Amino acid sequence: MSYVYLAHDVASNERYAIKVLSPALAQDQNAMARLRREAGLGIRLAHVNVCHIMRFGETEDGLVYVVMPFVEGEILADRTHRMGHIPLAETAKFVREMSEGLSVAHEMKIVHRDLKPENIMICRDAAGVDYAVVMDFGLAKERKAGSELEKLTATGIILGTPEFMSPEQLRGKPLDPRTDVYSLALMAYEMLTGKLPFAGRTQQETMIARLRSDPVPIRKARPDLDYTAAVERVLLKGMERSADDRYQSVLEFATAFGQAAQGDEGSGSGAGLLGKLFGR
């Protein structure tokens, strides 16, 4: 629905990404409403762990665009695929950073609703330390929405990514920040194992498994990596089918996961490395 350009500001010498809505969709009132909503949310989400929208505008000849920081790095999905799995301490660090960015959104009553590894960029700071950035709040939904926004998001079950949707999202139920807790826990599981915790021959079977079955325990999925019971308990609680049984915030989940990881010497990560990573 858009083209994205890399732009260079000759005055500031900074690089930006400019998303331009395709001309055909610029005439679509629903598409324009979604883009305006995305821009309105994004401008309020300025945080080091969020790729936020800086400006929304329209050119004289009718091209509609948004300006964002240029975020350079490696997509989390690509890193997990390349490495097979991501070490525990590094996973805990990324989970903490994603949770900090998401928490800012949640404080604004915004749920991301499409958390997935393809929407996370692993960037590198000036000191050479990797950090996670949450991208694409285009499917984000304000929990207290007006009637116009409710119409746009009424088909939300179609708008998310099925592999990482929470059970309540698959059922088309009302969403709150705990749906992002579920997706974040599921992503952490995949980072640690290189696998998804629910099996199925088709996408539909996988979705049904999330509604009816328990996730495969991480120590069964990857017995070769020797994770502790504490790490497994945190992940399973984060992926509880009922939102009431999960951690009630992304920061609560990230804290519990970090503590479990710090005590998990069997992974070879060690508390010392975890402390260094969190001390970025």
Q: Which of 119, 271, 274, 92 is nearest to 183 (CA)?
A: 119
How far is the C-alpha of 235 from the C-alpha of 227, rounded, in Å? Answer: 11
Residues 6+ apart with CB under 8 A from 255: none
Specify whether the CB–CB gap between 211 and 170 falls below 8 A.
yes
Angstrom CA distances, 41 to 53, 56, 101, 250, stand at 8, 11, 13, 19
CA distance 256 to 264: 12
- Biggest alpha carbon distance in the chain? 61
| CB 138 within 8 Å of CB 38 | yes
The pair of structure tokens assigned to 203 is: 């996408």
Assess contact for 105 and 113: CB atoms under 8 A.
no
The answer to whether 114 is a known catalytic residue is yes
CB atoms within 10 A of CB 73: 16
CA–CA separation, 92 and 15 (whole Å): 30
Pick the catalytic residue from 78, 114, 136, 176: 114
- Measured from the Cβ of residue 202, the count of other Cβ atoms closer than 10 Å reads 8
Q: Which residues are catalytic?
A: 114
